[in-house]
Amino acid sequence: MKTSLTLKQLESFLAVAQTANFREAAEILHVSQPALSRTIRLAEEAIGVRLFDRDTSYVELTPSGSELLPIAKRILQDFDSAFSELGQFLDGRRGHVTVVTLASAGVALLMPVVAAFRKKVPQVQFTLLESHDQGISSALSEGSADFGIAMQPKQQEPFRYIHLLDDPFVLLCRNDHELASQASVQWSVFAQAPFLQAARRSSIRPITDAAFLGRGLDVPDGLEYPSIPAVAAMVRAGLGITTIPRLTLKLLDMQGLTAVAMEGPVTRPIGLITRQGRSLSPVAKRFISEIAAGAS
């Protein structure tokens, strides 16, 4: 074979082969009969053999044409199938989405939306990752995740941010603690009882430190906790009380524990984060819209 055939040539060949009539094939293809004849002639010249024996009364496949027929059918079917998949991808009905989130945001915000989304578009695949704020930023910068759900990044960071909600801090104490029966408490309670504080690398620590500073509170340094489940165990063991974002309660077994609202609420902003300058797939855009709608 001197060269490959084009899809147009294969389509024209298949139409003539199936109708055994140039006029009918031209009507099916919405082209003129001379244009169709020219396309078939160019196809024959391209592969160096006749594909049809034809005169004014009949059209018949040559042996070479008969050999090409199943190949042409397979190529065109594969092409149609591939473009159908592309169409589903462009419509946001097919593809893969990788999301990296804070653990609490993933449990509280992401999982219900994933479950509903998969019912509507089951062909979409998901990879769900958990990390802290710095890890989320790294994943987005490296391109290993499409978007993240985390605290609002600093202005100088190269990310776009779509606000979802303000996550208020709550007091966490034992059920038998004197504060457990209160409808709400002041931040000053932490200056009067053993306070369990987040590790310095935690995104929670700067928020609580700023809350104490803004209220002029001198809160003695207490035991540091490495994770939200760990601080729940520490509170349950009677080592102190703490304040954590409300969404993190979704990560805890609250048996023996009580969460109490804080007056003069302090919140952490939670939203969708994407990397500036990076295009999202149609399905990722669609999924982000679903998350935003669910959080509103």
23-33: average pLDDT: 93
Give the residue from 250, 230, 287 showing the smallest Cα distance to 167: 250
Residue 12 to residue 18: CA distance in whole angstroms: 10
Neighbours of 225 (CB within 10 A): 23
pLDDT of residue 84: 72
Closest of 82, 88, 141, 90 to residue 281, by C-alpha: 90
Q: Is the pLDDT of residue 167 over 80?
A: yes
Residue 237 corresponds to which tokens in the numbers above?
């063991």
Give the predicted TM-score (pTM) of the model: 0.71
Q: Is the per-residue pLDDT at 8 higher than 70?
A: yes
Q: What is the pLDDT of residues 35-91, one digit of tens each?
A: 999 999 999 999 989 999 988 778 999 999 999 999 999 998 888 877 777 776 777
| Mean predicted confidence (pLDDT) in 249-259 | 94
Other beta carbons within 10 Å of 70: 9
Angle (CA) 208-167-246 rounded to 5° is: 80
**Mean pLDDT rounded to a whole number for the chain:** 90
Question: Residue 2 above 70 pLDDT?
Answer: no
Instruction: Supply the Cα-derived Rg of the chain in whole angstroms.
Output: 32
Domains of the chain, start order: 7-90 (1.10.10.10), 95-163+270-295 (3.40.190.10), 168-267 (3.40.190.10)
Helices (H), 48-187: 63-90, 103-105, 111-120, 133-142
Is 1's pLDDT higher than 50? no
With cut-offs at 50, 70 and 90, classify the pLDDT of residue 256: very high
Query: Is a pLDDT exceeding 80 seen at residue 206?
Result: yes
**What pLDDT is attached to residue 193?**
87
State the amino acid at position 204 in one-letter form: I
Average pLDDT over residues 115-125: 89
Phi and psi torsions of 17, nearest 5° = -65, -35
